[in-house]
Structures are given as structure tokens and as C-alpha cells.
């Protein structure tokens, strides 16, 4: 396709998207989506510049942003490393807590409420710490912790909490074995001048919510499952892990074992994106 033809096709697709959004119809039709996906000119930068006012680029299309809503800060990943159990250095990227975000975990809302008189967080996020300060234990397979272990009673309900600056509903990405019985949700978050995809892993569940399956859209407060100790016998808690999907990765096509791989998604301190208590 010649450059002029490419540009014409891109503009036509964007006009169609904008008109559809104004009429309240689904934003992306099959033809428009195919045009954008097949047009090399629709890079992230060019699409961001061409998207109509009130929209942001996401996966090659323009998504409307609700009026009066603002995006969060662009979160920067940083490099770190630790020694694994064999003594070899493992290098990775992670997104540390922004300094303006409260350090106290109890300042935030979580999928399970805190138990009276008990520590809310059994084990916190530590991939931003020096090697010697990262989690290790005789019965722990991995070094370091890219999520939180939230203490709760067996069978307690685990309910969805929307991320800050989230756009639209969350989507169930996976139900099955990741960290014991697990549910994985996908979220679209306004970050800087773009939409970024995040996945959340809810692990060691006694089981998922009845009828929960891949592709289901979930609103705030939806039941995800029940606290248990699958994959961690005798250690009842919820493993809660937030990860940002890397650019160019189609997270829906990943096998369960790849969802938490550093090459596919980047561990993020949950305090960056979880809403503060009272919000």
C-alpha cells in the first residue's frame, strides 16, 4: 500500500471510529479494526496524534475517555536484581512505589478487608529492595515477592476493586492454576497520555466464584473467589499481584505460566494503582 493510500485509510478509519462513538454505537467495527491493524502508519505515536479529542489510543484503536476524568502519572520501570536459591543473579524490571503514594498498606482498599487485631499484609512487595532484604524462606520456592500476601480467614469473599484511573470494566483473563487456584483479571488504566493494560493475579484461592469464566466483564465489587491455601497448604491467605503488560504483548494469547514472566509483564507495587481507602 502506498503512503498516501495508507494515510487515507487511517484517516477514514479514525473518522468512522469518532462518528460511531458520537452515535453511541460500538467504537470499533470489524472493518475499522482491520484497517488500523493493517496500516503500518498507525504507530503508537501517530495514532495518539490522530485520535479525536476525548479519546486515547489502545491496542491500535481510539478509546473514548469519560469527561472530567484524568489519567494517572506515567509509571517508570526500574531495573533490580536478586540471587535465586541456587545463588545465581536474576535481573528484572519492576515498578516501585511512587514516593507520593502512602507507604502504609492500610491506607488502601483491597479485595479482602483487614481482620481485626491481625496484620493485613503477611508479606509485602519487595522487588524494589536490595537483594539481602528480599523475601526468602525454607518453604518458599521463589526469592523476592512481586505481590502482597493478604491475611484473611478461609472462605472469605474476594471481591474486585477497580484500579485508580481505570477505564471500563475489568475482564476475566484466566481461571485456573497459576499460584494454586487463581483468577486473573485484565484492566485498562489511563496512564500519562495513553491507556496501559494491567493484569491482577488472585492466588491460593479455595476456589473461584461460581460461573466465573474467561471473557466475563466484571464491575467493582464483583465476586472473584474465596480465600484458601491451594498451592500453599496450611498458609491461608490471598496472594494479590499487579503487573503491567509490556508494549506489544497480546496478553490474551499468553499461556498461564507466561502471565507473570518478566519478559511479558512487569511487576508493579500495588500501592501505585490501588484506590485509597474512602475513595
- In the chain, the domains with their CATH numbers are 3-64 (no CATH), 78-272 (2.70.70.10)
pLDDT digits (tens, 9 = 90+) for 222-266: 999 999 999 989 899 999 999 999 999 999 999 999 999 999 999
The more confident residue out of 177 and 28 is 177
Identify the pLDDT of residue 9: 47
How much is the pLDDT for 150? Answer: 94
pLDDT, tens only, 70-87 = 688 899 999 999 999 999
Q: Which pLDDT tens digit goes with each residue over 141-166?
A: 889 999 999 999 999 999 999 999 99
Whether the pLDDT of residue 37 is over 80: the answer is no
pLDDT digits (tens, 9 = 90+) for 84-131: 999 999 999 999 999 999 999 999 999 999 888 777 888 999 999 999
Q: What is the 3-state secondary structure (H, E, C) of the chain?
A: CCHHHHHHHHHHHHHHHHHHHHCCCCCCCHHHHHHHHHCCCCCHHHHHHHCCCCEEEECCEEEECCCCCCCECCCCCEEEEEECCCCCEEEEEEECCCCCCCCCHHHECCCCCCCCCCCCEEECCCCCCCHHHCCCCCCCCCCCCCCEEECCCCCCEEECCCCCCECCCEEEEEEEEECEEEEEEEEEEEECCEEEEEEEEEEEEEEECCCCCCCCEECCCCEEEEEECCCCCCCCEEEEEEEEECCCCCHHHCCHHHCCCCCCEEEECHHHCCCECCC
pLDDT computed for residue 26 by the predictor: 41
What pLDDT score was predicted for residue 259? Answer: 96
Q: What is the pLDDT of residue 5?
A: 46
The mean per-residue pLDDT over the stretch 205-230 comes to 97
pLDDT value of residue 73: 85
pTM above 0.75, yes or no: yes
What is the structure's pLDDT at 116?
A: 82
pLDDT of 3 strictly over 60: no
Choice between 58 and 116, residue whose per-residue pLDDT is larger:
116
Query: What's residue 55's pLDDT?
Result: 63
> Of all residues in the chain, what percent carry a pLDDT higher than 70?
75
Amino acid at each position: 500500500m502506498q503512503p498516501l493510500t495508507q494515510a487515507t485509510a487511517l484517516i477514514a478509519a479514525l473518522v468512522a471510529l469518532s462518528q460511531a462513538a458520537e452515535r453511541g454505537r460500538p467504537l470499533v467495527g470489524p472493518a475499522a479494526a482491520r484497517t488500523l491493524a493493517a496500516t503500518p502508519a498507525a504507530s503508537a505515536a501517530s495514532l495518539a496524534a490522530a485520535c479525536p479529542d476525548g479519546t486515547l489510543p489502545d491496542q491500535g484503536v481510539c478509546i473514548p475517555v469519560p469527561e472530567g476524568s484524568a489519567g494517572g502519572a506515567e509509571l517508570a520501570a526500574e531495573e533490580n536484581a536478586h540471587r535465586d536459591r541456587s545463588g545465581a543473579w536474576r535481573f528484572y524490571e519492576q515498578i516501585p512505589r511512587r514516593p507520593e503514594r502512602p507507604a502504609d498498606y492500610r491506607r488502601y482498599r483491597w479485595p479482602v478487608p483487614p481482620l481485626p487485631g491481625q496484620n493485613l499484609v503477611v508479606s509485602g512487595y519487595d522487588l524494589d529492595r536490595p537483594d539481602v532484604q528480599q523475601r526468602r524462606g525454607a518453604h518458599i520456592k521463589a526469592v523476592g515477592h512481586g505481590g502482597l500476601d493478604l491475611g484473611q480467614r478461609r472462605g472469605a469473599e474476594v471481591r474486585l476493586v477497580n484500579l485508580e484511573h481505570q477505564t471500563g470494566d475489568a475482564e476475566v483473563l484466566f481461571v485456573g492454576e497459576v499460584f494454586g487456584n487463581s483468577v486473573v483479571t485484565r484492566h485498562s488504566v489511563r496512564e500519562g497520555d495513553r491507556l496501559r493494560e494491567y493484569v491482577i493475579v488472585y492466588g491460593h484461592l479455595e476456589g473461584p466464584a461460581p460461573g466465573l469464566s474467561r471473557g466475563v466483564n466484571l464491575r467493582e465489587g464483583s465476586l472473584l473467589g474465596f480465600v484458601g491455601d491451594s498451592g500453599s497448604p496450611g498458609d491461608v491467605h490471598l496472594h494479590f499481584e499487579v503487573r503491567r503488560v509490556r508494549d506489544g504483548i497480546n496478553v490474551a494469547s499468553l499461556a498461564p505460566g507466561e502471565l507473570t514472566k518478566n519478559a511479558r509483564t512487569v511487576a508493579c507495587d500495588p500501592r501505585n494503582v490501588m484506590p485509597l481507602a474512602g475513595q
